[in-house]
């Protein structure tokens, strides 16, 4: 269909979005070419000095970026596997099905910045319940928040708790809308549950899976509240992610110009890599 | 084999349920504690392990002058901003999604998919990237520290979600449906609101739900873009995080802030069970 | 006062959906568009409805340029192969929907809807929800909606294809009656299908479409008897006409070591290689016939389709009873050489059993 | 909405506010907060404020989260509103974001707040957006009592930008019931051959903390640990590090810079003095409670205040909190100056000077200023003046969670503290400790130069890496020093030197 009316549908949303965003984006680009900081709050022009600094003299940003990649990919994979498993279980008849479904949805309704405070007390190494209960079993206190390696996994645990429901919801809804015929056919062929999953369920779910994974990757790459409250990027810089690093540079140290450089670079990298990931996933999961 | 499978299945979901519920139980317990019961040793059960107190809950309605946070007004502010921004995002996002699903757009190298990606890509930006420019932007148009200003910003946050879900949804609604409406004498607008819209309620519910969730849980923009006039719930709760962390009142406020969205969880589940949402989320 | 199309071309990507299509449809008549899936049938109907704008060419209706008229003002009706109704409305509301759009008064609406319900046999279903109906009933509602509208152009896009075999038969019968009785003489009825049998039974004016191009037009009987080339012969037969590459030598036709006596109507043919066409129904099991190997045996309704092979020649035979065969089994078949078509190497029809007969 | 809120608030208030004991003073009847002293006459007393009329005006304040500094701000705002008829809006912000929350609007040319709270080392970045305290307030009686070091902290080049409301410093807190316990003294001597006493050096501190780490020494059935310290990056941990470094690096023989050599502007933070301190600190990760490496200030206060550790060193808050009547270790804590060292680095001779050295660390605490662009400056200063009036101040310093600490000569008298229930000797040791710090000629103030945040963040990041074992102390500090050079180049050496020279004058107590 092609009517001139199509613009009436598209343009309000598009222009509102562009209208709200155009200034911030141009501003960020311009800011990234300035040396705006706490002592010289001016939109002066310093060329690509900031970019040179970023690419030649800021390993911390790149470390934080790789750390972010590790954290977001790991959390999303875990969320996908667990979410899919949960969805498969409550898809079919099971006792207290609806109860479980509601329970499984709840974590994503909580505000991360508030919930993470609870997690911090939960994982508190000497005053939290986890180490205390483990202590009763004779396990030595685990340094949930203060060991550089374990702290990463604590962040992952909290993220998985918070966002697996999102994956679960998308995948469960996907399962519920699958056509029945292929399953009947597989049942007639006497396929085992495992084969049924590999040859029927999974291929049918591939497009939904890709959408869910990409959206979760987008969201997971912004991970910040959790790190902020849980570990402040510590110990050392062990849990610092890109957006948290940008936050530190921008709002803690007030190097606005440089933070804008980081932001813009980050955006470009993210858009490119997410596009590539989407393409690769499509190739891998959908067999034509 | 069958039995083992069943055993594993139930073990898995029960363990997961415990994992999900554990922090809430901990928060409930903590919300009745005081400094002593938190800082001397780990305690779990009121009366048995420690003497419960309502102090943590009282803090939520006390004025700051008495060490409280008074979350009543922020609560309503949060509700207002979240719902208004969600509503506007859904209206605009649904229209745009309909256009992207049904019509072909060409401008230079830009095609429908690129426009859709443009919408969704707004979610890639971490709030920190946008917060300062938004500050300048809102201060220029005089909307800093106002509910409307927050609504404007939240539209950017939420419209991509609405577009993402609704494009997907409309792609699943046969386009012959709207064509039939056109043939039956509706112009495109009539076809949209007389035929497409009434058949998109599941999609709208899902989109609305996601918008509300993502609006409700935002902290960063609310934090940067407000001063004294308007305070949103998460900002207010985080303001409890003083150099002495009052675990008890933080726990209480965490529980309170989750409450309204638990209703959302029930609504979603109901629609899921009726099978209404399946098409919408697929 | 006709629906006239001139040189319609539509090529949204690399492929032609419509390629220089022209026609002149008269009121009060039935036109069937025959073509395989993706041959451009739906595109053509949508273009007539106004849902698509052709890249070039134009359509005139009642001497007015139709391209300027938006779809919602064209007064056409369309039934899709998917059973498209308004899921949020009841049966009655569905059928009255276009009438309300046209702001008819309540009485007229009721009368029209009742008539249409009667025609399609759904009286008493007024308040049902669409989801509660079977596929066949849903399609009847869609049909009723287009009938009630009394549109000047009624488009049916493979309306029966998604129904099961029995229902299809039944509805097809009903269609004939409906089309004959239920339609005002004012209406141009355009019916697209992939099924040659449907074309034959509806017996209207046929347009054979392939890759967006009109291959042949004419009464159904003509198309069936004298397909102008191989393509049409394939499209207008189900199963498609068997094509056998053979050599005509003097009094016989030879292929795969089989010699068939030259039928009378081909006596004029020069000695050389031809594509011989024969319908599946003209190949019969016969113990005195030639030996072929069974590649596949399909049972469809009360018939059996045998996919046969001999050397590099593959044919399909239609047996009018249900029989069981084993794959790779050898069977003997006889070709009814009186029904041989002859096509040139480039596909053009050279000779047909009917043309000869007709003189 | 408003009505509901008011109703709820009224209901709760009615339940919570106990009726005040009748006092002769009419103000303490109305404001139970000052019931201990009643109104004390002065320029900004309750009496004086009640004569002002700010009806129809609104005062906007950004302060710290409740309760530390946040609660007194809100409390005094409420009192101020009652007295003058003004409307006072208070927002509460977590400590880490106070700087940005004020700085963002400042730089955008906005003044959403009339009054902004922060830390005193923000002064260099903030001063151009702050209104100097008018002469009238500088000269009044209330201000005369403020100690010179706190006047210095609030001022820049002789101009007072911040209104003194709080005084802060780091000092040592220890468990009296252990250190002064003859049983433990004997046991310690027997086990280690050393005296158990208030630690004089960081080495002693470390030995004792390690000795008392990981066993139940107060008999409550739970394990106790050696020390609670702020080790969490970005949470004021740089201050803890400077506290531990001062004795090793602040050499009275080499004035002219602790952080930089004022002459060359070469960062000093990777010299052996600092490395020694960081090495000590890395060793300290062995005697902090589990997770102690991730403690913020709140955790530190909670841990020591909850009776979990033997030592702690940082702000007064922990001490005052521990001395609250409902505290489990009420009257079981002692205060002392930060430990010293038996050697101190001499950067002129490039060698260690042997002998005992000690250098107190004045961590400037809460500071508050009035925005230049504010439309209600007079009211704003009146409010601050009222906040710090004598009656309010005396009531505030006794409440640990308020975070208001001594900065007036009057505060350094033991009876102020015995009045609120402290043991006499504890009160005495406390005021002595504070007074000694005021008099010291060899002390350290945190950096307040352009780019303070960047310098501190770079140092904190490096120190955190060392604590986490990612880098050796030397490598970590070398990395920090390199970053300091980069920051210096970006900011401009002369800018930093000019600002730092003000600080150096205070370090060497030449004011």
H-helix or E-strand spanning residue C66: none
Option in B174, B185, B187 nearest C84 (CB): B174
A186: domain CATH number is: 1.10.3720.10
| pLDDT for A2 beyond 70 | no
Q: Residue A148: which of D234, D308, D468 has the nearest Cβ? A: D468
pLDDT of residue C185: 67
Q: Which of B38, B40, B227 sits opposite D307 (nearest CB)?
A: B40
The answer to whether residue B279 scores a pLDDT higher than 80 is no
User: Is B122 in CB contact (< 8 Å) with chain C?
Assistant: no
Residue C86 has pLDDT above 50, yes or no: yes
Q: What is the mean pLDDT of residues B12-24?
A: 93
Better pLDDT: D196 or B229: D196
Total Cβ atoms within 10 A of residue A284: 10
Q: What are phi and psi of B157, to 5 degrees?
A: -70, -35
pLDDT, greater one: A147 or D5: A147
* Residues B177, C86: C-beta atoms closer than 8 Å: yes
pLDDT band of residue D18 (cuts 50, 70, 90) is very low
Average pLDDT over residues D381-401: 89
Alpha helices in D250-350 (DSSP H): 272-284, 297-305, 316-322
Domain of residue A230, residue span: 58-285
Predicted confidence (pLDDT) at residue D7 exceeds the cutoff of 60: no
| pLDDT exceeds cutoff 90 at D273 | yes
User: Is residue D24's pLDDT more than 80?
Assistant: no
Region of residue D88 (phi > 0: left; psi between -120 and 50: alpha; otherwise: beta): beta
Q: What is the mean pLDDT of residues C7-15?
A: 86
Neighbouring CB atoms inside 10 A of C13's CB total: 6
What pLDDT does residue D10 have?
Answer: 47
Cα four-point dihedral sign D427, D429, D432, D434: negative
What's the rounded Cα separation, in Å, for the pair B95 and B162?
10
Q: What integer is the mean pLDDT of D80-95?
A: 89
pLDDT of B274 reads: 63
Q: Are C342 and C275 in contact (CB under 8 A)?
A: yes
Residues of B with CB below 8 A from D67's CB? 67, 242, 244, 246
- Does residue D92 carry a pLDDT above 70? yes
CB B278 within 8 A of CB A177: yes
- Decide: D and C in contact? Rule: 3+ Cβ pairs under 8 Å: no
Of D13, D74, D328, the CB nearest to B40: D328
Give the integer Cα–Cα distance in Å for B124 and B65: 40
* Alpha-carbon gap: C278 to the closest alpha carbon of chain B (Å): 39
* CB contact set of B260 (below 8 Å; sequence gap of 6+): B79, B216
Name D228's bridge partners: D312
pLDDT at D357 over 70: yes
CA-derived radius of gyration, chain D: 23
Residue A13 CB partners (closer than 8 Å, separation 6+): B92, B93, B95, B96, B119, B159, B163
| C273 strand-pairing partners | C247
C-alpha dist (Å) from residue A228 to A154, A239, B34, D463? 13, 9, 25, 19
Q: Does residue A50 lie in a domain region?
A: no
- Nearby residues of D308 by Cβ (< 8 Å), 6 or more positions away: A126, B39, B40, D222, D224, D225, D228, D289
D205 touches chain B (CB under 8 A): no
Measured between beta carbons, the chain C residues lying within 8 angstroms of A1 are 51-52
Q: What is the pLDDT of residue B22?
A: 92
Q: How close A94 comes to chain C (CA, Å)?
A: 28
Q: Is the peptide bond before D67 cis (omega within 30 degrees of 0)?
A: yes
Q: What is the pLDDT of residue D218?
A: 87
* Residue A5 forms contact with C (CB below 8 Å): no
Give the span between the Cα atoms of C315 and C239, in whole angstroms: 10
**Does B195 reach chain C within 8 Å, measured CB to CB?**
yes
Q: Give, to the nearest 10 degrees, the angle between helix B2-30 and helix A97-105.
A: 50
Range in B11-25, D382-396, D496-510 the model is least confident about: D496-510
Tell me how crowded residue A8 is: count the other CB atoms within 10 A of its CB: 14
Q: Where are the alpha helices (DSSP H) in D21-147?
A: 26-30, 46-49, 70-84, 95-107, 123-126, 135-138, 141-144
- Tokens, residue A93: 């008849």
For chain B, give every domain's residue range.
Answer: 2-65, 71-239
Whole-model pTM: value is 0.82
C82/B183 Cβ within 8 A:
no
Name the pLDDT band for C357 (thresholds 50, 70, 90): very low
Rounded distance, CA D310 to CA D213, Å? 8
Q: For C131-140, how does the pLDDT look when each residue is reduced to its tens digit (9 = 90+)? A: 888 888 888 8
Provide the pLDDT confidence category of residue C323 given band limits of 50, 70 and 90.
Answer: confident
The yes-or-no verdict on residue D270 having pLDDT over 90 is: yes
Cross-chain Cβ contact D453/A252 below 8 Å: yes
Mean pLDDT of C208-229: 89
Asked if residue C252 lies in contact with residue C261, where contact means CB atoms within 8 angstroms, the answer is: yes
At C288 the three-state DSSP class reads strand
pLDDT, residue B282, reads: 35
Determine the 3-state secondary structure of C32 from DSSP. strand
- Please state the φ and ψ torsions of residue D369, each to the nearest 5 degrees: -140, 170
Give the residue on A whose Cα is nearest the Cα of D471.
A236
pLDDT in tens, C63-77: 888 888 888 888 888
A35 near D CB under 8 A: yes
What average pLDDT does the structure give for chain D?
A: 86
Do the chains contact at D70 and B242, CB–CB below 8 Å? yes
Q: Do the Cβ atoms of C52 and A2 come within 8 Å?
A: yes
The token duo for D436 is: 């000694």
* pLDDT at residue D19 tops 50: no
- What is the pLDDT of chain C when averaged over all its residues? 86
List CB contacts (< 8 A) between B173 and chain C.
none
Confidence bin at D15 (pLDDT 50/70/90)? very low
Cβ distance of A38 and D467 shorter than 8 Å: no
Element (H, E) at A126: none
- Torsion angle of the four alpha carbons A37, A43, A49, A50, in this order, in degrees rounded to the nearest 10: 50
pLDDT of residue C184: 57
Residue B238 with chain D: CB contacts under 8 Å = 65, 94
Which fold would CATH assign to domain B71-239?
A: MetI-like fold (1.10.3720)
Which residue in chain B has the smallest CA separation from C84?
A: B177
Predicted confidence band of residue B275 (pLDDT cuts 50, 70, 90): low
Query: Which of D1, D62, D65 would you mutate first to test chain B, the one with the most B CBs within 10 A?
Result: D65
Total domains present in chain A: 1
Residue B270: predicted pLDDT: 80
C-chain residues within 8 Å CB-CB of B182?
50-51, 71-72
Measured distance CA(D327)–CA(B36) in Å, rounded:
8
Percent of chain C with pLDDT over 90: 7
What is the pLDDT averaged over residues B196-207? 85
Q: Report whether C145 contacts B184 (CB < 8 A).
A: yes
Angstrom distance (rounded) from CA D64 to CA D392: 18
Residue C359: predicted pLDDT: 37
Closest CA to C28 of C1, C7, C4: C1
Residue C182 has pLDDT above 80, yes or no: no
Can you read off the two tokens belonging to residue B106? Answer: 């060409």
What is the mean pLDDT of the segment spanning D60-73?
88
E strands present in chain C = 3-10, 18-25, 30-34, 56-61, 64-65, 76-79, 153-157, 188-193, 205-210, 213-219, 242-249, 252-255, 258-261, 273-278, 283-300, 303-310, 313-319, 330-335, 341-343, 349-351
- E-strand spans in A57-162? none
Q: Express each pLDDT in C102-117 by its tens digit.
A: 888 899 899 989 988 8
Residues on chain A touching D467 (C-beta within 8 angstroms): 235-236
What's the rounded Cα separation, in Å, for the pair B187 and B195? 11
Q: How far does CA C96 lie from the centroid of its chain? A: 30
Interface of B with A in 246-275 (CB under 8 A): 247, 250-251, 253-254, 257-258, 261-262, 264-266, 268-269, 272-273, 275
Q: Is the pLDDT of residue D3 over 70?
A: no
* Substitution target from C51, C104, C143, C157 for chain B, most B beta carbons within 10 A: C51
Q: Which residue of B has its CA nearest to A94?
A: B10
Residue C305: how many other CB atoms lie within 10 Å:
15
Of C242, C146, B256, B227, residue with least CA distance to D58: B227
- DSSP-based three-state secondary structure for A98: helix
Beta bridge partners of A194: none
pLDDT of residue D442: 84
User: How would residue A84 be classed by pLDDT, with cut points 50, 70 and 90?
Assistant: very high
CB contact under 8 A, D305 and B39: yes
- D124 contact residues in A (CB cutoff 8 A): 39
CA-nearest residue to D222 within chain A is A126
- For residue A285, pLDDT over 80 is answered with no
Per the prediction, chain B carries an average pLDDT of 84
Residue A102 tokens, joined: 């509601």
- Residues of B numbered 62-91 whose beta carbons fall under 8 angstroms of chain A's beta carbons: which are they? none
Closest-CA residue of chain B to D302: B39
Domains, chain C, with CATH or none: 3-228 (3.40.50.300), 242-358 (2.40.50.140)
Give the highest mean pLDDT range of A176-190, A229-243, D305-319.
Answer: D305-319
pLDDT category of residue C167 using cuts at 50, 70 and 90: confident
- Give a yes or no: residue A220 inside a domain: yes
Distance between C283 CA and the closest CA of chain B, angstroms: 42
* D58-62, D387-391, D440-444: range with lowest mean pLDDT: D440-444
Distance (Å, whole) CA A147 – CA A238: 9
Q: Provide the pLDDT for residue A164.
A: 94
CB pairs under 8 A between A and B: 263
Could you give the domains of chain D? 2-168+364-407 (3.40.190.10), 171-345+352-361+442-507 (3.40.190.10)
pLDDT digits (tens, 9 = 90+) for D204-223: 999 999 999 999 998 888 88
pLDDT value, residue C134: 84
Interface D:B, ≥3 CB–CB pairs < 8 Å: yes
- Say if residues D247 and D338 touch (Cβ distance below 8 Å): yes
- What confidence category does residue D175 fall into, taking pLDDT thresholds of 50, 70 and 90? very high
With a CB cutoff of 8 Å and minimum separation 6, the contacts of D65 are: B238, B239, B240, B241, B242, B243, D92, D93, D94, D95
**C97 and B CB contact within 8 Å:** yes
Instruction: Tell me phi and psi for residue C160, to 5 degrees.
Output: -105, -5
What are the C-alpha distances in Å from B16 to residues A71, A85, B10, B21, D75?
21, 11, 10, 9, 45
Contact B227 D5 (CB under 8 A): no
- For the complex shown, is ipTM > 0.85? no
pLDDT value at residue C347: 85
Contact D94 B227 (CB under 8 A): no
- Cβ neighbors of D365 (< 8 A, separation 6 or more) are D119, D120, D166, D167, D168, D315, D403, D405
Instruction: Provide mean pLDDT across the span A142-153.
Output: 85
Which residue carries 């979990």 as its tokens?
Answer: D308
Q: Is A181 on the interface with C (CB under 8 A)?
A: no
pLDDT 10s digits, C245-299: 888 888 888 888 888 888 888 888 888 888 999 998 888 888 888 889 998 888 8
pLDDT of A174-221, one tens digit each? 888 777 777 777 777 777 778 888 888 888 888 888 888 988 898 888
* Alpha helix (H) residue ranges in D50-117: 70-84, 95-107
Alpha helices in D135-271 (DSSP H): 135-138, 141-144, 148-154, 176-179, 182-192, 202-211, 237-249
Average pLDDT rounded to a whole number, residues D413-421:
84
Concatenated DSSP letters of D172-200:
EEEEHHHHT-HHHHHHHHHHHSS--SS-S
Residues 154-193 of A with CB under 8 A from D: none
Q: Which region, left, alpha or beta, applies to residue A191 given φ > 0 means left and ψ of -120 to 50 means alpha?
A: beta
Q: Do B254 and A118 lie within an 8 Å CB cutoff?
A: yes
Q: With residue B263 as reference, give the H or E element that holds it.
A: helix B247-273
D339 contacts: CB under 8 Å, gap ≥ 6: D172, D199, D200, D201, D202, D204, D205, D247, D358
D299 closest CA partner among A113, A234, A126, B52: A126
């Amino acid at each position: 269909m092609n009517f001139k009316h199509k613009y009436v549908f598209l343009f309000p949303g598009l222009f509102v979005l562009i209208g709200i965003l155009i200034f911030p984006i141009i501003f960020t680009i311009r800011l990234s070419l300035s040396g705006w900081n706490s002592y010289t709050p001016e939109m002066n022009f310093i060329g690509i000095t900031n970019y040179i600094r970023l690419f030649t003299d800021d390993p911390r940003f790149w470390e934080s970026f790789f750390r972010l990649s590790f954290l977001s990919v790991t959390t999303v994979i875990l969320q996908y596997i667990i979410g899919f498993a949960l969805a498969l279980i409550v898809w079919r008849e099971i006792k207290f099905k609806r109860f479980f479904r509601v329970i499984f949805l709840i974590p994503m309704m909580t505000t991360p910045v508030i919930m993470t405070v609870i997690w911090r007390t939960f994982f508190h190494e000497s005053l939290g319940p986890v180490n205390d209960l483990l202590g009763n079993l004779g396990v030595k206190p685990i340094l949930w928040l203060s060991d550089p390696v374990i702290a990463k996994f604590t962040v992952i645990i909290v993220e998985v708790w918070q966002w697996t429901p999102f994956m679960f919801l998308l995948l469960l809804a996907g399962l519920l809308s699958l056509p029945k015929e292929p399953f009947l056919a597989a049942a007639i062929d006497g396929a085992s549950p495992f084969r049924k999953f590999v040859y029927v369920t999974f291929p049918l779910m591939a497009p939904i899976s890709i959408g869910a994974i990409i959206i979760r990757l987008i969201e997971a790459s912004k991970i910040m509240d959790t790190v902020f409250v849980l570990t402040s990027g510590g110990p050392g810089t062990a849990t610092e992610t890109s957006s948290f690093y940008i936050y530190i540079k921008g709002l803690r140290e007030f190097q606005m110009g440089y933070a804008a450089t980081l932001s813009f670079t980050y955006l470009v990298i993210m858009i490119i890599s997410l596009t590539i990931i989407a393409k690769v996933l499509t190739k891998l999961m959908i067999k034509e | 084999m069958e039995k083992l499978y069943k055993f594993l299945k139930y073990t898995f979901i029960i363990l997961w349920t415990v994992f999900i519920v554990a922090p809430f139980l901990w928060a409930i317990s903590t919300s009745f504690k005081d400094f002593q019961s938190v800082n001397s040793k780990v305690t779990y059960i009121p009366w048995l392990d420690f003497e419960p107190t309502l102090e943590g809950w009282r803090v939520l309605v006390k004025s700051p002058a008495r060490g409280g946070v008074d979350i009543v007004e922020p609560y309503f502010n949060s509700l207002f901003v979240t719902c208004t921004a969600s509503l506007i995002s859904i209206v605009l996002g649904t229209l745009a999604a309909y256009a992207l699903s049904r019509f072909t757009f060409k401008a230079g190298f830009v095609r429908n998919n690129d426009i859709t990606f443009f919408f969704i890509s707004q979610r890639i930006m971490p709030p920190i990237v946008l917060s300062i420019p938004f500050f300048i932007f809102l201060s220029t148009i005089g909307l800093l520290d106002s509910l409307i200003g927050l609504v404007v910003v939240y539209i950017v946050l939420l419209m991509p979600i609405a577009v993402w879900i609704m494009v997907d949804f409309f792609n699943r609604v046969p386009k012959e449906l709207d064509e039939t409406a056109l043939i039956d004498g509706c112009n495109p607008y009539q076809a949209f609101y007389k035929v497409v819209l009434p058949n998109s309620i599941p999609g709208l519910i899902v989109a609305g739900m996601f918008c509300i969730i993502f609006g409700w849980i935002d902290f960063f923009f609310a934090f940067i873009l407000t001063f004294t006039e308007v305070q949103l719930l998460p900002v207010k709760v985080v303001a409890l995080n003083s150099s002495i962390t009052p675990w008890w009142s933080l726990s209480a406020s965490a529980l309170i802030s989750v409450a309204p969205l638990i209703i959302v969880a029930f609504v979603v589940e109901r629609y899921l069970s009726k099978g209404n949402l399946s098409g919408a989320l697929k | 006062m006709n629906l006239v199309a001139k040189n319609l071309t539509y090529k949204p990507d690399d492929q032609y959906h419509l390629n220089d299509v022209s026609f002149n449809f008269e009121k009060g008549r039935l036109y069937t568009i025959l073509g395989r899936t993706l041959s451009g049938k739906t595109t053509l109907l949508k273009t007539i409805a106004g849902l698509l704008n052709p890249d070039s060419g134009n359509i005139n209706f009642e001497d007015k340029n139709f391209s300027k008229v938006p779809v919602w003002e064209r007064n056409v009706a369309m039934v899709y192969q998917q059973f498209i109704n308004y899921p949020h409305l009841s049966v009655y509301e569905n059928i009255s929907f276009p009438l309300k759009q046209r702001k008819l008064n309540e009485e007229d609406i009721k009368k029209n809807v009742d008539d249409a319900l009667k025609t399609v046999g759904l009286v008493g279903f007024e308040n049902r929800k669409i989801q509660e109906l079977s596929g066949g009933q849903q399609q009847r509602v869609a049909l009723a909606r287009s009938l009630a509208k009394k549109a000047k152009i009624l488009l049916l896009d493979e309306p029966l294809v998604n129904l099961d075999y029995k229902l299809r038969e039944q509805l097809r019968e009903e269609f004939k009656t409906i089309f004959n009785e239920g339609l005002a003489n004012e209406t141009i009825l355009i019916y697209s299908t992939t099924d040659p049998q449907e074309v034959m039974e509806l017996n209207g004016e046929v347009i054979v479409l392939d890759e967006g191009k009109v291959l042949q037009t004419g009464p159904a009987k003509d198309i069936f008897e004298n397909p102008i080339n191989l393509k049409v012969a394939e499209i207008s037969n189900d199963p498609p006409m068997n094509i056998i590459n053979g050599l005509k030598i003097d009094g016989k036709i030879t292929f795969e070591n089989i010699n068939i006596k030259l039928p009378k109507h081909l006596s004029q043919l020069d000695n050389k290689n031809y594509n011989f066409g024969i319908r599946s129904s003209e190949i019969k099991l016969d113990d005195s016939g030639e030996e072929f190997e069974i590649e596949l045996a399909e049972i469809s309704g009360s018939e059996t389709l045998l996919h046969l092979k001999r050397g590099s020649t593959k044919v399909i035979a239609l047996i009018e009873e249900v029989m069981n065969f084993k794959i790779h089994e050898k069977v003997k078949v006889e070709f009814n050489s009186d029904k041989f078509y002859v096509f040139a190497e480039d596909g053009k029809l050279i000779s047909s059993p009917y043309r000869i007969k007709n003189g | 909405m408003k009505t509901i809120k008011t109703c709820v608030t009224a209901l709760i208030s009615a339940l919570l506010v106990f009726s005040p004991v009748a006092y002769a003073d009419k103000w303490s009847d109305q404001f139970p907060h000052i019931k201990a002293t009643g109104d004390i006459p002065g320029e900004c007393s309750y009496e004086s404020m009640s004569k002002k009329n700010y009806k129809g005006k609104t005062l906007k304040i950004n302060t710290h989260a409740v309760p530390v500094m946040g609660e007194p701000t809100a409390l005094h705002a409420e009192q101020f509103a009652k007295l003058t008829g003004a409307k006072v809006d208070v927002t509460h912000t977590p400590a880490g974001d106070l700087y940005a929350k004020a700085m963002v609007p400042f730089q955008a040319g906005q003044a959403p707040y009339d009054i902004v709270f922060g830390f005193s080392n923000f002064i260099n970045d903030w001063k151009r957006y702050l209104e100097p305290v008018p002469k009238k307030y500088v000269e009044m009686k209330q201000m005369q009592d403020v100690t010179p070091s706190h006047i210095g902290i609030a001022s820049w080049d002789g101009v007072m930008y911040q209104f003194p409301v709080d005084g802060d410093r780091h000092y040592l807190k220890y468990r009296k019931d252990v250190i002064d316990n003859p049983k433990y003294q004997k046991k310690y001597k027997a086990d280690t051959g050393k005296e158990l006493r208030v630690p004089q050096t960081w080495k002693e501190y470390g030995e004792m903390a390690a000795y008392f780490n990981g066993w139940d020494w107060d008999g409550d059935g739970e394990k106790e640990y050696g020390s609670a310290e702020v080790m969490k990056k970005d949470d004021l941990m740089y201050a803890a590090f400077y506290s531990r470094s001062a004795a090793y690096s602040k050499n009275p023989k080499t004035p002219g810079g602790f952080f930089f050599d004022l002459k060359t502007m070469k960062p000093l933070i990777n010299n052996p003095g600092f490395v020694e301190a960081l090495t000590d600190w890395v060793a300290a990760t062995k005697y902090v409670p589990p997770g102690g490496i991730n403690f913020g200030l709140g955790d530190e206060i909670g841990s020591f205040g909850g009776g979990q550790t033997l030592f702690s060193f940082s702000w007064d808050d922990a001490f005052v909190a521990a001395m609250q009547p409902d505290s489990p270790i009420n009257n079981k804590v002692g205060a002392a100056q930060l430990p010293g060292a038996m050697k101190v680095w001499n950067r002129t001779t490039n060698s260690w000077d042997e002998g005992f050295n000690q250098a107190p660390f004045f961590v400037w605490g809460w500071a508050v200023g009035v925005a230049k662009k504010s439309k209600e400056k007079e009211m704003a200063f009146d409010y601050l003046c009222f906040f710090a009036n004598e009656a309010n101040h005396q009531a505030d310093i006794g409440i640990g969670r308020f975070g208001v600490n001594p900065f007036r000569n009057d505060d350094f008298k033991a009876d102020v503290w015995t009045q609120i229930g402290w043991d006499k000797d504890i009160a005495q040791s406390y005021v002595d400790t504070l007074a000694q710090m005021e008099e010291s000629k060899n002390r350290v103030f945190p950096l307040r130069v352009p780019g303070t945040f960047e310098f501190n963040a770079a140092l904190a990041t490096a120190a955190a890496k060392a604590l986490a074992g990612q880098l050796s102390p030397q490598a970590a500090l070398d990395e920090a020093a390199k970053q300091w050079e980069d920051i210096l180049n970006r900011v401009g050496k002369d800018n930093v030197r000019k600002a730092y020279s003000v600080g150096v004058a205070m370090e060497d107590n030449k004011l």
